[in-house]
Structures are given as structure tokens and as C-alpha cells.
Amino acid sequence: MTFSIRKRIDEQFPATLIDISHVECFSKLGIGLIHVKNNEMKNYLANKVGKISLSPQDSSAMISFTTTFEYVSYIVLDTTNVKDDIEWPTSEEIIKRWIEVYSGEKPRSCDQVDIQFPNIYRIVTSSLEQLQHVMDNEDFGVQQLCARVYLGADCGHIENLSRSATEDELRTAISNAVGEKDDISKLSLYIQLNKQTHNVCVIATNKARKWSTKIIYYKGNPISAAESLTRSLLVHSNSEIFNINDIISHDMFAGKVKLTKCRGNDFILEVLDKEVYDKCLKRKALRIDEKLLLSMEIYTPYSDPSDSEIDADTWYKREMFRYKADIMQFVSNPEHKIFRFKWNPQIWLEQFKRVVHTNQNPKSMDGSLEQQKASPDEMRHRLRVTIMLNTIATIRKKSYVIDNREIKLNLDPNMKTIIYNHQSKLKEGGPMPLKKTPFAKTKVEVVNEDCLIVYKNFIDRGKKPLLLNMASATSPGGGYRKGDGAQEENLFRRSDYLRSLDIGLDEFIEDSSDRSHCSSTCDLDSYFDSRRMYPMDEYGAIYTSDLTFFRQPEKTGYAFMEEPLNNVCSLAIAAYRDPKLDGNMLAPKYAVGLRKKIENMFSIAYHH
């Protein structure tokens, strides 16, 4: 290389203009020292020439001339087995450790590349002697983390990759683009994918540097490098009433932001200054006045929950495990992102089937550390809580989307709920209304089918069916709040049934049901204290009219129905819990009691 550089300069410039006395090359660093006779020649190369190609026939390899020495490298801290809440070393701590390891002068600067990649630092040095020490050992430790120095590397970014993208696939694509048959080593090409934003940071040295000048084809689609990432904030307001100009002009933004999109309580700001951007993301919240509070986070096309699905990246793999299996920690915050994601039944079903497979083959569990710690039963409960949260979101929106078609929900604001207990009387006594039995026989069918599908079949045949909710006697909806899996809980996940039975959610859901008690005088008492609905009487029941069902069975992934089923009537009545048995039969006491429950069920059904 020394000979090639000297020959090129000698051929390009006469000795009277540039007279070289000595050339030193440091190929691994990609730099060299050219000694000329005087400052005039030095300044001519640096200021007049600037750069020339190494070969007249090939302009891909360039020689740049400068009188000052600033060498840019990148330090990458290993992220293997690192916790999400880690506090990465500061730039000052990196510099201090650099001086301890490599001696010599202090680096000119050291900064995190981007807040999305807090483990990557750009370091600028000016000591050739120090760089030679680095070449001898490019790895060092800092705060129990392993650090790798990429000397003289280039840094580039790829934005908004698909959710399915992987670092290995990108390595293959970049290696192919620069003409390498085999994947380039991680020591020359470092690739880091941020799985939340789907942005990529690429650190390239040696032959991998050429990637930024090439068109990269990933899964048949061209992608290109960017020197820096677009800095955008997704800002959410706690109020629908705000003046965007008051927000943009706030001192926090230092006049360095502009509005790019506004929708409801959310808007997107492009930030023109890295320091302002980093400050906003670290602070996360901003109060404009006593009423207006803003929350701020990184915006990408995937970061707006309204445009994203509930999938492994947004929820199932990691985020879901930050919470207990209980809807109550979410319902008081209607702006939580889980209520804004789109529903994908196939993805949910895939996650649910994986739990079944894991239960049968415990060693097959992969995924995040949180997933591996959770038992299959805990996983099932969390997955069912997830669908319930999406059902609550659907009830609040009064609509859902199938194949880009919005389906409106006609939730009846006049839903009726009637509580029956030991005091209730359906009708005043009198002569038997029927002299003759209207039907010769009663037909009983036992069908292995979803109860709502059977209900719909009766509707289609012109019948007036009543849906039996085999309910919990003590808790509205049984264990639906925590993701239990029995029939009552399944009904809650597929409808607006919670509006009727769960008085504890009235303050969080609009248009809760009108509730009344059937009294001993056959009247409906609307002043009845609904908090006394539970526990249900031993022979009691709760009748609900005008329910709306909008989801298919669990085996479909709780897919939305093409057409909601309106005006569904249901009767909640509880069987005995763990009754005593006499052989394979109910003990006489429970057999008589169960018969009474069944009689009441048919009496109420006939009454309505």
C-alpha cells in the first residue's frame, strides 16, 4: 500500500509541487502518514487536492488528505443476557475505562450513537500510538460488561424493517451485496436490531464498509442505509382539548420540533436536534399546564398501537409478562396501549397452541426469559386476559375491523338484568293456564358444539332460545378477570356480558345494564342494591336480555364474527360446587336441590 500511494502521488503531481520524503501506512487502521518537504506542500494536498483515487481507472478506492488527525471508532457493549432495565455506562465512564486500558491521552469525544442503541458509542481519538495499543487487543471490560472496539468503522442505519426481520438474515443480505459468498464475521460487521422499533444499527469495518454504497436486497425488496435515524416522538395527551402551538413552543422542545401528524389525543413530532430528542425520551412526560399532561415515546410506524397488532413483538413475548393475569390493573387506564392494538386471531391461537405443546414437551419452550419462567397454566391465563382486554376495548369503541371493514356494534343501551332469589315470585297464583300439555314430548339433545353456535342455529330456525350460563355462584363472570377458562368466562370474552353481571366495572364501562330485582309481589324493583347480586341464592338466577356477541369460539383464536349476534337472552344459574356423591350419583340432598334449580331455570325461561 505504501508503494501504491507514493506511486500515485508521484504520477499525479510534479516533484516541484509535491515532494514526498517518506510514507507510512497502517493498513488495519486504514490510515497513513505522508511526509513532505514543507508546509506549503502539506496545505496544498489537504486544502487544494482534498482527495484522489488510488487508481486512475478505479474511483472506488479514494485517498483523503488532512492536516489534522481525528480517528472515529465505535465501541459495542455485548447485550447477551442483559436485563431490560440495565443502566448502560455513561460516556464519561467509557472514556475513563478507555484511558485505563489503553493509556495515553483522553479521547476527544465519546457519545452514545442513538438512544435506541444505548450500548453503542462513537469515540473519536487523535493518538496514533494509542490506536496501535487498541489494535493489539480490541476487547475490554467495563462494569462487568464486555466491550468490543471497531476501529475506523462506519456506522449506518436501516429503518422500519418488517417485524419478522432477523440479524442473521440481514448479515447474509449485506454479505451478498458486497460480493461475499459467506457471511461476514461479526468482528467486521456488527448488526443490532431494535425489536421494539424495528430499526437497525450496522457497524462495518474492513471489506464490510462497502455496504453503505450498495443496494441491499432483503427478501427481494431493496433497502438502503441512512447515516442517522429519523427522530420522531409519539406524544399522547390526557385531554382531547389542547393547543398544538402551545405544546410545540414549550421550552422543552427549544424550537427544534415540527408537527407531522395529529389524530385524536395523539400526535407525532419530528425532532430536529438529537440532544432535545434524547432529553424528551429520558423524561417521558411533560406537563403543559395544570390540566394538560403529555406522555412521550419513540415513534415508528409500528409504535402507534392503533396501527399495530397484538403479536410477539408488541405483547406476547415480553410485555405481557410485566403484568399479573388480571384485567383490573388495566381497566382504569383506557389509554393503555393494550386497548389500542388490533386483534389478530391467528397470532393469538399460535401462542395458545404453543402453550399446549410446551405443556406436553416442557423442554421445547423457547422465547424470552420471562416466558421460560412462566408455567403453562400462567401462560394460558395471561393469554385469556389479553383477549378480555381486547374485548373491553371493542365494547368501548362499539366497533371492530375485519379485513379493513369496520363492523359497527349495536350495543343495546337498554340492556335488562333481573335478579331472582328466594323472595322472587314470577306470577300471582291462580287457575292453571293450560288444561292440556301443548307438546306430546320434550326433545333432549346432547351436542358436542359451542353453545353460541347452537343458539344461533335455533335463531336461524325461527326459535326463541335462552342461553344457559353455567355461572359461578360467588363471582360475576367466574374467574374471567384473571383468565380462567370455563364456559362463563368464555361467554364474557366474546360479548358485552360484563355490562350485565359485573357491577365492579360499571365505573369503567359506558351504558351498564339496568338492574332490577323480582320481588315477592311479582314486581321489578329497580332500587334493589345491585351489590347484593352475589353471592347468588342457592336456587337463584340472573336473567339478561339484549346481549351482543361478536367473537367466535376459542378454537378460532376468538376471531371477530362477520355479523354480530344481537338480542341474545341468557340465564345465569349455578350448579353445586363439589357436591357429595352416592356412588356415581348425586347424594339425595343435592339431587333434590339440582332438580329444583332446573325447575326454576325452565320456569324463568318460560316466563320470558
Three-state helix/strand/coil letters over 106-154: CCCEEEEEECCEEEEEEEEECCHHHHHHHHHCCEEEECCEEEEEECCCE
CB 544 within 8 A of CB 501: yes
Distance CA 517, CA 500 (A): 13
pLDDT number for residue 605: 93
Strand pairing class (293-298; 399-402): unpaired
pLDDT band at 7 (very low <50, low <70, confident <90, very high): confident
Long-range contacts of 392-398 (CB under 8 A, 24+ apart): 392/327, 392/331, 392/339, 392/498, 392/509, 393/338, 393/339, 393/340, 394/343, 394/550, 395/496, 395/498, 395/499, 395/509, 396/334, 396/339, 396/509, 396/510
Contact 477, 533 (CB under 8 A): no
Crossing angle for the helix pair 128-136 and 91-102, to the nearest 10 degrees = 80
| Predicted confidence (pLDDT) at residue 439 exceeds the cutoff of 90 | no
- pLDDT bracket for residue 370 (50, 70, 90): low
Q: Provide the residue type at 88 as one letter.
A: W
Tens of pLDDT, residue by residue over 493-550, are: 999 999 999 999 999 998 999 999 999 999 999 988 989 999 999 999 999 999 999 9
pLDDT of residue 10: 80
- pLDDT digit string, tens, across residues 263-298: 778 888 999 999 999 999 999 999 988 888 889 988
| Confidence category of residue 436, pLDDT binned at 50, 70, 90 | confident
C-beta of residue 541 within 8 angstroms of C-beta of residue 517: no
**Cα separations (Å) of 220 from 11, 157, 189, 223, 552?**
44, 19, 21, 10, 37
Question: 115-118, long-range: CB within 8 Å, 24+ apart, which pairs?
Answer: 115/277, 115/278, 115/281, 115/282, 115/298, 116/194, 116/197, 116/199, 116/201, 116/229, 116/298, 117/192, 117/194, 117/201, 118/88
435 Cα distance to chain centroid? 65
What residues does each domain of the chain span?
1-64, 72-152, 155-223, 232-298, 319-397, 416-434+445-607
Whole-angstrom distance, CA of residue 551 vs CA of residue 492: 10
DSSP, collapsed to helix, strand or coil, labels residue 163 as coil
Q: What is the CATH code of the structural domain delimited by 72-152?
A: 3.30.70
- What cell was used for 576? 353445586
> So what's the pLDDT on residue 124?
96
Give the pLDDT score at 31.
Answer: 83
Please state at what angle helix 376-397 crosses helix 345-360, rounded to 10 degrees: 170
The DSSP annotation for 235-273 comes to: EEESSS---HHHHHTSGGGTT-EEEEEEETTEEEEEE--
**pLDDT value of residue 430:** 76
**Among 210, 206, 149, 142, CA closest to 179:** 210
Fold of 416-434+445-607: Leucine Aminopeptidase, subunit E; domain 1 (3.40.220)
Entry pTM: 0.63
pLDDT band at residue 431 under the 50/70/90 scheme: confident
Asked if 355 contacts 376 with a C-beta cutoff of 8 angstroms, the reply is yes
CATH fold of 155-223 reads Alpha-Beta Plaits (3.30.70)
| Res 304 pLDDT > 70 | no
Q: How many helices (H) and strands (E) does the chain have?
A: 15, 29
pLDDT grade for 373, boundaries at 50, 70 and 90: confident
For residues 418-429, b (16+ Cβ closer than 10 Å) or e, as one string?
bbbbeebeeeee
Is the pLDDT reported for residue 162 higher than 70? yes
Between CA 24 and CA 13 the distance in angstroms is 19
**117 has pLDDT over 90:** yes
Helix (H, G, I), strand (E, B) or coil at 475: coil
Identify the pLDDT of residue 73: 95
The C-alpha atoms of residue 537 and residue 604 are separated, in whole angstroms, by 15
HSE-CB of 235 using CA atoms within 13 angstroms: 32
**232-298: in CATH 3.30.70:** yes
CB 190 within 8 A of CB 117: no
Burial (Cβ within 10 Å: 0-12, 13-18, ≥19) of residue 117: buried
Per-residue pLDDT for 256 more than 90? yes
In this structure, what C-alpha cell is assigned to residue 200? 437497525
Q: How many other CB atoms sit within 10 Å of the CB of residue 230?
A: 14
Q: Residue 143 pLDDT more than 70?
A: yes
Q: For 79-83, 417-421, 428-432, which range has the lowest pLDDT when averaged over its residues?
A: 428-432
**3-state DSSP call for residue 159?**
coil
Cell numbers for 336, please give them: 393503555
Listing DSSP states for 538-579 in one string gives TT-EEEEEEEEEEE--GGGTSPEEEEEEEEEEEEEEPPPSS-
pLDDT over 90 percentage in the chain: 58
pLDDT at 209: 86
- What confidence score (pLDDT) does residue 371 get? 62
Q: Give the residue among 212, 80, 196, 211 at the shortest CA–CA distance from 147.
A: 80
Closest CA to 564 of 395, 341, 344, 342: 395
Q: Whole-number mean pLDDT of the chain?
A: 89
Would you say the CATH fold of 416-434+445-607 matches that of 232-298? no
Mean pLDDT of 76-99: 92
- What number is the average pLDDT over the span 51-68? 79
CB 572 within 8 A of CB 501: yes
With a cut of 90, say whether residue 551 has pLDDT above it: yes
| Closest by CA position to 542, among listed 469, 491, 606, 593 | 469
